[in-house]
């Protein structure tokens, strides 16, 4: 069985349905994966791109973006790289009402065992109760 790494634009065409031909091809790929005919893999950079594109190009509200990311992580036949971090980040983003990318950074910091996040973006991380350090 072949396995394919899936780029953001495939998922975006599937979820937005803004291009009928590409939507059909994306849906077919996801159906094939769900039935075990192929495997799919994707990772956090793809999710960051999806979140950014939905927010900036499609004006999708943050909470709806998180719904899309949650649905995506549960697609049958799709393996998510760093799935534990992705799930934690979605929970953090929902509870703190912050963006997925920042929540993923916090989840990564926690998993890494680091003591704090070095950032100039204090306000978003403070809203997530993240330990922050002054950048040296």
Q: How far apart are CA 83 and CA 34, in angstroms?
A: 18
Q: Note the pLDDT of residue 121.
A: 85
Q: Note the pLDDT of residue 64.
A: 96
Q: How far apart are CA 36 and CA 30, in angstroms?
A: 10
Q: Note the pLDDT of residue 120.
A: 87
Q: How far apart are CA 8 and CA 121, in angstroms?
A: 26
pLDDT band for 136, please (50, 70, 90 cuts).
low
Q: Are 70 and 64 in contact (CB under 8 A)?
A: no
Residue in the block written with tokens 């890494």? 112
pLDDT in tens, 78-128: 999 999 999 999 999 999 999 999 999 999 999 999 999 999 888 889 999
pLDDT in tens, 29-87: 999 999 999 999 999 999 999 999 999 999 999 999 999 999 999 999 999 999 999 99
3-state secondary structure of 78: strand
């Amino acid at each position: 069985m072949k396995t394919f790494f899936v780029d953001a634009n495939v998922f975006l065409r599937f979820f937005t349905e803004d291009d009928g031909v590409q939507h059909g091809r994306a849906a077919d790929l996801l159906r094939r994966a769900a039935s075990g005919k192929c495997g799919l893999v994707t990772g956090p950079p793809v999710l960051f791109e999806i979140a950014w594109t939905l927010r900036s190009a499609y004006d999708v509200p943050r909470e709806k973006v998180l719904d899309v990311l949650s649905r995506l992580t549960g697609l049958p036949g799709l393996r998510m790289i760093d799935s534990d971090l992705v799930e934690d980040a979605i929970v953090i983003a929902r509870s703190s009402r912050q963006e997925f990318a920042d929540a993923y950074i916090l989840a990564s910091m926690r998993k890494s065992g680091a003591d704090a996040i070095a950032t100039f973006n204090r306000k978003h991380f403070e809203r997530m109760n993240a330990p922050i350090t002054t950048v040296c």
